[in-house]
Every structure is written in C-alpha cells, then in structure tokens.
Amino acid sequence: MFNNLSDKLDKALHVLKGHGSITEVNVAETLKEVRRALLDADVNFKIAKEFTVRVKEKALGQDVLTTLQPGQLMVKIVKDELTELMGGDVEGINLSGNPSVILMSGLQGSGKTTFSGKLANYLKNKKTKKPLLVACDVYRPAAIDQLHVVGDQIGVEVFSDRGNNDPVAISQAGIAHAKANGYNVVIIDTAGRLAVDEAMMTEISNIHKAIQPQETLFVVDSMTGQDAVNTAKAFNDILNFDGVILTKLDGDTRGGAAISIKSVVNKPIKFIGTGEKMEAIDVFYPSRMADRILG
C-alpha cells in the first residue's frame, strides 16, 4: 500500500533537504505529490492544478521549510485549504416553508429514491417534522413501487397517481395533499435518465418553476468521478440548485468528486449517502471529507 500523504511529503522534503538548500522549486516538487494525491482521489485535473498553486502560495508564506516537520505542516495547509474549498461550515437545508418543499434531481441510478427515503426518515426522527414523499417518476412504474416500498419501511406516506403521466400535476397534487393533511415537509422524487438529455431537463425545469421548492437538491453518485462534474453543471445551469447530495460513499471512491463539484457549481454539499439502508445518511463534514481524500 502507499504511504499516506503526510508520510510522502515528509519523505519528499527530507530527501530534498539532504541535497542542500531548499527552495521554491523544492516546494513545487513536493506539491506534485499533493497533486498526485488529488488526482488519485479523482479530483478534476484543472482543479487539482489550481489548488496546488494556492497551496504553494500559502506554504511559502508560512515558511514551511524552516519547520522541523515540514511534511506535516504542508498536510495541514493542504487539509485546511481542501476543507475550505468544500464549504467550510456544515450547511443545513431550508425547512422554512409550510409545507417545506424539497425537490430531488439527478440521473437515474444516482440514488434519488433511496435518498428521498433517507431524508424523510431523518426528518421524521426530528419529531417536529412530518414528511410526505411524492412519486413523480411517471415513466417507470417500478420507480413508484420502489418509493412505496421505501415509504412502508420508514412509516412515511407516499403520494402517487399511477394513471397520471404529468409530473407537474402530480407534484402540485402532492403538495395540496400535504397541506390538507398536516404534512410540513414534502419530498418530491423525480424521474432521472441514464445521461443528461433535453427531455429530462425540460421536465425537471417545469416542475421546479411550477412548485418553486424551498430546496432543490442534486443527487450524484460519488463513484462516477469526473462525469459527476459535468452532470452537476448541467443540472445547476437549469435549476440553480441549493445543494448537493453525494451518494455511495461507502464504496471505495476517495470522494474527489466532492471537490470538483463544489469548485464548478459552487454549491454546498449537504448530505452524504453511505449505504443502501435508510439509516445510511450523514451530514456532510468538509474536514472529514478532506481526511478521506488525502488518505
């Protein structure tokens, strides 16, 4: 196995020290290791490059080379920068509406339905929240069934209308149902496609305009690496979404997509999915993610 980044940097700087004076050039050498670690974690190349330029400025400003353990200080600088890049403080979701409407968006298979259930369960456990799930995937009957299975599992009602093929009308009817029945959160699960296409974008955009949700969340599979960035950009261009949900972080991805997405769309990552079970949801903590990415 590889050493972690801290060891690598200590070693790199140690070797350089043995060769006489340590210069800006040597720091640049070390930063190659940082860049390699980021690329290994699937961070977009351009973003990794820009990032190391910033770290270099900081490192030179902090006299890294005169300290006893320059590698460790470098790692701290890198970690702090990464944490800041991914959002700094933990961000919540806007639940100020009555009901608060949360629209889920993302590709098919990203984990929207699963996450809708997880979020409903998470909010339900907060006692003051009474969530309703709304099934708006009109193309795949199995998707509606899946949401019902999830709803049954967590004891949350699912609103669906199987004969209806108009997702805008279903989402509006779902919100009306919530108002009439005392639900204070409405989570709307929508249809995804395997890739970004115009029909899907038009549909989600129409739903978005019609219901004006308090919160629009973009769900993305962290295992999809670089593609995740392009998908995020496409959805953000249409929806100007409020936050990102990074799923399947229980897999072996280092999670570099978190940095790339945040850098490109500049929206906070709010929650992560860490498994198929309804309890496998966690608030996103940038510093934990930085640790994971640095390995």
Q: Could you tell me the CA-to-CA distances from 112 to 33, 162, 166, 179, 276 in Å, in that order?
A: 36, 19, 19, 24, 12
- Which position among 100, 247, 253, 260 is part of the footprint of ligand GDP (CB under 6 A)? 247
What tokens does 194 get? 């395997």
What angle is formed at CA 227 by the lines to CA 210 and CA 285, rounded to 5 degrees? 75
111 contributes a contact to ligand GDP by CB under 6 A:
yes
What tokens does 78 get? 């890198």
- Under rule CB under 6 A, how many of the chain's residues touch ligand GDP? 17
223 contributes a contact to ligand GDP by CB under 6 A:
no
The site string for ligand GDP over 183-222 (x = CB under 6 A, - otherwise) reads ---------x------------------------------
Count Cβ atoms below 10 Å from residue 98 Cβ, excluding itself. Answer: 12
40 vs 250, beta carbon nearer ligand GDP: 250
253 contributes a contact to ligand GDP by CB under 6 A:
no
Shortest distance, CB of residue 228 to ligand GDP, whole angstroms? 13
Q: DSSP letter string over 8-71?
A: HHHHHHHHHHTTS---HHHHHHHHHHHHHHHHHTT--HHHHHHHHHHHHHHHHHTTGGGSS-HH
52 contributes a contact to ligand GDP by CB under 6 A:
no
Residues 6+ apart with CB under 8 A from 1: none
- Which position among 250, 282, 285, 287 is part of the footprint of ligand GDP (CB under 6 A)? 250
- Which position among 49, 109, 139, 201 is part of the footprint of ligand GDP (CB under 6 A)? 109
| Annotation: binding site | 106-113, 189-193, 247-250
Q: Which residues bind ligand GDP (CB under 6 A)?
A: 106, 108-114, 192, 247-248, 250, 273-276, 280
